[in-house]
Amino acid sequence: MSVRVVARIRPLLKAELDRDIVVHGTSSSDGGPNGDIDTIRIPNPRNENEEFSFQFNSVYGVQATQEDIFQNEAESSGVGGQLIRIVAPTINHLFQGFDVTIFAYGVTGTGKTHTMRGGKTLSERGVIPRLLSGIYRRSRKLEKDSQGATSVEVSMSYYEIYNDRVYDLFEAPEKRTAPGLPLREQNGKTFVVGLTERPCASLKEFENLYDQANVNRSTSATKLNAHSSRSHAILCVKVSVTTGEETRVSMASAIDLAGSEDNRRTENGKERLVESASINKSLFVLAQCVEAISKKQARIPYRESKMTRILSLGQNNGLTIMVLNLAPVRSYHLDTLSSLNFANRTKKIEVKEIENEPMFRGPAPIRTLPSVSGPSIQRQP
């Protein structure tokens, strides 16, 4: 299965004008004629009479609500697989023992944080709180249906990568040590050493921890966006399903990447340039990885940045969804085009889905476990 790319065009902001719209989307979910494909169209900046078009798994236009992006399970299972929805299928996947990765990519100010985190009200909640809400709902149902024989535990860790350094978002910024936390590889997965893992038994508990940690996320004003995030924020949610002696652990990663803009065009001051260069570096390495993978090169430069080591696209990510956030207006034209080109390459990347093996408490069962690097399981959720 390849990386799924879901493009979302945000609405115009107050200061933006209709006549500056250059990005157009067609979506099969808009109720257009049958067979409509999800396409983004944008003029060639060098010759406006020419148009480029890009096809993705789904395209959401300016009217799309947070609920549309999430789509509840009942609806998503009813449409005969016509539409690929973002989050609801990932919950099925998690409870079947697979990992899932959802990452938002785009220029600063295009709606990454809005999509992933969203606003305070119920209807404005983004992918992350909806994902968690779905996980808790499914957990309660499993526990009830099994009459207590099965129990589910949820825990979270949350960190950011800033200037190629990893910081625990449960730690106050003033407590950070300069080098940040180290990474380590185990069983083909990269993880952060020394990260706080907090159990969260309910959505309320999750939201409290998540909000508290978000205050610690580095933000600072740039010309593009008053609350521009120049760090990658990575939320890991661990779901452990225990029945008797057997526990199966799967992981959902939700990543709000730093802005992908070309900082040579944002007139940043000197201090900012160091940080910008670093953000650009990890996204640049990500683009190089994608290119190396698509050209089937032997060496993929994952190790050249922490973000790419952690994301390790095309390795053991499980179900992988990239949300491509786009602003519709001309002032983003060149950056939008480079995001679209990046997404176009990313959508071809094959990801392996490896079913997490159950772990056992008590006496080990007599059976041979297949190796982690075994055959990938091609299963659609």
Residue 373 CB, nearest approach to ligand ADP (Å):
35
Find the radius of gyration of the CA atoms of the chain: 21
| Residue at shortest CB range from ligand ADP | 111
Residue 278 CB, nearest approach to ligand ADP (Å):
17
Give the one residue of 3, 5, 10, 162 binding ligand ADP; rule: CB under 6 A: 10
Burial 263-294, CB ≥16 within 10 A → b, else e = beebebeeebeebbebbbbbbebbbbbbebbe
Label residue 183 exposed, middle or buried (CB < 10 Å: 0-12, 13-18, 19+): middle
Q: Whose Cβ is closer to ligand ADP: residue 21's or residue 249's?
A: 21
Phi, psi of 78 (to 5 degrees): -90, -10
CA distance 306 to 238: 21
CA distance 211 to 124: 15
Residue 341 CB, nearest approach to Mg ion (Å):
22
28 binds, among Mg ion, ligand ADP, none (CB under 5 to 8 A by kind): none
Contact 334, 26 (CB under 8 A): no
Give the one residue of 57, 229, 253, 316 binding Mg ion; rule: CB under 5 A: 229
Nearest to 332 by CA among 6, 9, 114, 5: 9
Residue 110 CB, nearest approach to ligand ADP (Å):
5
Q: Which residues are annotated as a binding site for ATP?
A: 106-113
Work out whether 231 is an interface residue with ligand ADP (CB under 6 A).
no
Question: How many chain residues are in contact with ligand ADP, going by CB under 6 A?
Answer: 15
Work out whether 231 is an interface residue with Mg ion (CB under 5 A).
no
Work out whether 316 is an interface residue with Mg ion (CB under 5 A).
no
From residue 319 to residue 358, the character string flagging contacts with ligand ADP as x (rule: CB under 6 A) and all else as - is ------x---------------------------------
Q: Please report how the helices 127-145 and 88-95 are oriented relative to each other, as an axis angle in degrees rounded to 10.
A: 40
Q: Which pair of structure tokens corresponds to residue 289?
A: 């990885």
Give the one residue of 113, 266, 276, 336 binding Mg ion; rule: CB under 5 A: 113
Q: Which pair of structure tokens corresponds to residue 227?
A: 């609350």
Q: How many residues does the chain have?
A: 381
Q: Whose Cβ is closer to ligand ADP: residue 10's or residue 125's?
A: 10
Q: Whose Cβ is closer to ligand ADP: residue 104's or residue 293's?
A: 104
Give the one residue of 4, 85, 114, 130 binding ligand ADP; rule: CB under 6 A: 114
Work out whether 13 is an interface residue with ligand ADP (CB under 6 A).
yes
CA distance 226 to 15: 14
What is the contact surface with ligand ADP in residues (CB under 6 A)? 10-11, 13, 106, 108-114, 225, 229, 259, 325
What is the contact surface with Mg ion in residues (CB under 5 A)? 112-113, 229
